[in-house]
Chain A
Amino acid sequence: MVNTRVTLCGIELDNPVIPASGTFGYGYEFAELYDINCLGTFSFKGTTREPRFGNPTPRIAECTAGMINAVGLQNPGVEAVIREELPRLGKAFRKPVMANVSGFSVEDYAFTCALLDREEQVGWLEVNVSCPNVHGGGMSFGTDPASAAEVTRAVKAVTKKPVILKLSPNVTDIAAIARACEDAGADGISLINTLLGMRIDPRTRRPVIANVMGGFSGPAIFPVALRMVYQVSKAVSVPVVGMGGVASAEDVIEMMMAGASAVEVGAQNLVDPFASKKIVEALPAAMEKYGVTSLEEIIGTAH
């Protein structure tokens, strides 16, 4: 009998598998297919202060072992999320959920987090300072240690819930940004958001994505993500949530050995709606295969 339980910022999870924000909606599309309570938790669609339509289409492009998206944080705004989405989410999912928040100013982040702080089902705030698809916000806060720290402090001041900063890989030194967030009070770090990429359609000779560039995700980015999780978890003492190209229980185990306390599954949910459930179900056998009795004991063994 193996033990898949892990603790993330003081909250216990049945297993470390967490569908990533933007790949799982508010859970109910997936709840039509399976009981999503088998998941550790999930991170719901990135939420901003105001409603957003996002970028023009096409927003999606195929890549080798992955995809590019340039959705641009489409969401109904925090007030509608609280009024309409969370009550529905609560009917399908009974565990603490991770609220993913983005913004265009430090005040935006604080405003949105302050409202979500009052929601009982929200277990963690995952603060996205890494969206590559919006201008003048998102990633610009996550490419500079001082800005990332400022967002962290502003959010910490309005919530008692654990605050996890979600970082961009599109930086020179991700460990320095993680340390700045930790010093500013972050309770955890999650990484990586997507890698900035693009595709061109040779028939039209133009970019496939209307916004030209987008975020590259999928199994192709797993080695890059794993390397960064390793670097960041060596640099900070707060828990790290690893993500980027995770598609199997083996990937989860590798991420944890690199230093992750929990693992998010992103793009794979889009091509296989059962991916996260399959990973949860495959974990015990994968653990037995590698002689792991408790997942907590393998966190950071590669260090």
Chain B
Amino acid sequence: MNRELLTITENEPLTASVFRMRLSGCAGGYLPGQFVNVALPGLYLRRPISVCDLADGTLTLIYKVVGRGSELMSRLRPGEKLDVLTGLGNGYDLAAAGDAPLLVGGGVGVPPLYYLAKELIKQGKTVSVVLGFNTKDEIFYEDEFRALGCQTAVTTADGSRGVKGFVTDALPGGASYYYACGPLPMLKALYRAAPFPGEMSFEERMGCGFGACMGCSMMTKSGAKRVCREGPVFKKEELLW
């Protein structure tokens, strides 16, 4: 964990409710699947957000406006500085990928998979991606994943684009390991649908984000774990589902 003062260089909508923020001045060194905890002016608690990308000292965060914190965040302008705790959580286990890993993301669960895909491709892996959204207007980063060289499929619940249905309706054959991030019902459906091993990133309301308050605990097969510290990524076989 580090505490960094970063400068906003971009904060623009990707869809009606999803924004992309870019911040410069980042020390770097964080792993795919880790998150940052952002202090927002006027709010007491920090807001945890997954790392979407990290390149040349620029951190990319993608977040959905759902409450007071994200609303406030969406109104911040380039040039403003943010106090950010960085390098939080365990991150994905890249060593488990095998040759052809599958990345499965739903909604605002998609962003951390981008940084993961980039790093896996750097390691010479053949990466397949399935991205699930409710409707075509909510789709983001499809082109970005394709540009990385990922075999990319999109699903929409209403069938307005790509495969009609959920991510589990578009799982490609040939994968032997998956990485996932998305809403709990998606993770549970994937857990049941994919007959091979994998790991999933979880979300929880957090107090500190670095393991001190026990606000975000989750019970696993090996006991109580902090989503912010031992997580947010947990192996499939650790889950009590």
Contact = CB atoms under 8 A, between A and B. Distances in A.
A69 B215 contact: yes
Contacts of B1: 29, 32-33, 273
Interface in B8-45: 39, 43-45
A23 B45 CA distance: 13
A282 interface: no
B69 interface: yes
Interface in A55-113: 57-67, 69, 71, 74
Interface in B203-225: 204-208, 210-219, 224
Interface centre among B206, B210, B213 (most CB of A within 10 A): B213
Nearest to A266: B213
Contacts of A30: 212
B42 to A, nearest CB: 9
Interface residues on B, range: 20 to 34
Contacts of B208: 23, 269-271, 273
Interface residues on A, range: 35 or more
A33 to B, nearest CB: 7
B65 to A, nearest CB: 12
A66 B214 contact: no
A61 B205 contact: yes
A60 B69 CA distance: 14
A62 B45 CA distance: 6
A218 B44 contact: yes
Interface string A12-56: 000000000011110001101100000000000100000001100
Interface in A255-281: 267, 269-274
Given A54-B224, A61-B205, A67-B207, 5 more contacts: A29-B1, A62-B68, A67-B44, A269-B208, A273-B1
Interface of B: 1, 3, 39, 43-46, 67-69, 85, 204-208, 210-219, 224, 229
Interface of A: 22-25, 29-30, 32-33, 45, 53-54, 57-67, 69, 71, 74, 203, 208, 218-219, 267, 269-274
8 contacts: A22-B214, A24-B212, A54-B214, A57-B205, A62-B45, A74-B217, A74-B224, A208-B205
